[in-house]
Structure 1
Amino acid sequence: MSAAADPLAEPGGRAVHPALRWATVDLAAYRANLRHLQELVAPAELMAVVKADAYGHGATTLVAAALEAGVRWFGTLDLANAHELRAAGVGDGVALFAWQFGPRETFERAISERIDLGISSLRQLEAVASAVEAVSRALAPDAAAAAPVPALVHLNVDTGLHRDGALADEWDALVTRAVRLREAGILRLRGVYSHLAEASDEEDTGSAELLASCIERAARLGATFERRHLTASSAGMERPELRLDMVRMGSNTYGIPVTDGVSAADRGLLPVMTLSASVARVKRIAAGTGVSYDYTFRAPRDTTVALVPVGYADGVSRRAQHGVTIALHGKRYPIVGRVAMDQFLIDVGDDPVAVGDEVTLFGTGSRGELTVGEWADLIETIGEEVTCGIGARVKRVYV
Structure 2
Amino acid sequence: MTGLAVAARNDPGARPRLDIDLEAVGRNTRLLADRAAGELMAVVKADGFGHGALDVARTALANGATRLGVTSLEEAWSLRDAGLGVPLLSWLNPVDSDYATAAARDVEVAVPGLQHLAAVAEASGRARVHLHVDAGMARDGADPASWASLCRAARRAELRGEIDVVGVMGHLGCADDLDDECNALGRTRFAWALETARACGLRPRDRHLAATAATLTDPRAHHTMSRVGAGLVGIDPSRSTRLQPAMTLTAPVVQVRRVRAGTPVGYGHAHRTAAATHLGLVPLGYADGLPRLASGRAEVQVRGVRRPVVGRISMDQLVVDLGSRGVDPGETVTVFGPGAAGEPTVADWAAWADTIEHEIVTGIGSRVERRTLAVPHLRSLS
* Structure 2 unaligned spans of 5+: 1-10, 374-382
- The within-5 A match list for 1:1-399 is 18-41=13-36, 43-91=37-85, 94-132=86-124, 149-198=125-174, 201-259=180-238, 262=239, 267-399=241-373
| Shift in Å, 1:22 | 0.9
The percentage of counterpart residues that share the same residue type is 38
Query: Given the superposition, is the C-alpha separation of residues 255 and 17 from structure 1 closer, same or farther in structure 2, using an over 3 Å criterion?
Result: farther
Equivalent residue letter for 2:44: V
For 1:339 and 1:354, how far apart are their aligned partners in 2?
22
For 1:257 and 1:70, how far apart are their aligned partners in 2?
18
- Superposed CA RMSD in Å reads 1.5
| Shift in Å, 1:398 | 0.3
| Shift in Å, 1:152 | 1.0
| Shift in Å, 1:211 | 1.4
SS, match of residue 102 in structure 2: helix
Deviations 1:93-124 (A, max 9, x none): x1221111124223111111111101011111
Equivalent residue letter for 1:251: A
Deviations 1:134-190 (A, max 9, x none): xxxxxxxxxxxxxxx421100011121111111222112211121122223222211
Using the size of structure 2 for normalisation, the TM-score is 0.91
Equivalent residue letter for 1:165: G
Contact 1:275/1:360 (8 A) holds in 2: yes
Contact 1:189/1:224 (8 A) holds in 2: yes
| Shift in Å, 1:330 | 0.5
| Shift in Å, 1:73 | 1.5
| Shift in Å, 1:39 | 0.6
Contact 1:194/1:230 (8 A) holds in 2: yes
For 1:254 and 1:17, how far apart are their aligned partners in 2?
29
For 1:390 and 1:269, how far apart are their aligned partners in 2?
21
Equivalent residue letter for 2:35: L
Contact 1:17/1:357 (8 A) holds in 2: no
| Shift in Å, 1:371 | 1.4
| Shift in Å, 1:224 | 0.8
| Shift in Å, 1:252 | 1.3
SS, match of residue 166 in structure 2: strand
SS, match of residue 377 in structure 1: helix
For 1:18 and 1:78, how far apart are their aligned partners in 2?
36
- Residue 379 of structure 2 corresponds to none
- Residue 11 of structure 1 corresponds to none
| Shift in Å, 1:340 | 0.5
Contact 1:33/1:253 (8 A) holds in 2: yes
Deviations 1:316-360 (A, max 9, x none): 111222221100110000001111000000001112411111111
SS, match of residue 365 in structure 2: coil
For 2:154 and 2:132, how far apart are their aligned partners in 1?
12
Contact 2:279/2:326 (8 A) holds in 1: no
For 1:251 and 1:60, how far apart are their aligned partners in 2?
15
Q: Which runs of 4+ in 1 moved over 3 A?
A: none
For 1:357 and 1:292, how far apart are their aligned partners in 2?
22
Using the size of structure 1 for normalisation, the TM-score is 0.87
For 2:247 and 2:14, how far apart are their aligned partners in 1?
17
- Name the structure, 1 or 2, with higher relative contact order (CA <8 Å, separation 6+): 2
| Shift in Å, 1:17 | 7.5
- Residue 6 of structure 1 corresponds to none
Equivalent residue letter for 2:16: R
Query: Given the superposition, is the C-alpha separation of residues 237 and 356 from structure 1 closer, same or farther in structure 2, using an over 3 Å criterion?
Result: same
Contact 2:41/2:227 (8 A) holds in 1: yes
Equivalent residue letter for 1:36: L
Contact 1:255/1:271 (8 A) holds in 2: yes
For 2:29 and 2:355, how far apart are their aligned partners in 1?
24
For 1:156 and 1:376, how far apart are their aligned partners in 2?
31
Contact 1:56/1:388 (8 A) holds in 2: yes
Deviations 1:256-282 (A, max 9, x none): 1313xx3xxx61311000111111111
Equivalent residue letter for 1:217: T
For 2:221 and 2:141, how far apart are their aligned partners in 1?
18
For 1:307 and 1:163, how far apart are their aligned partners in 2?
43
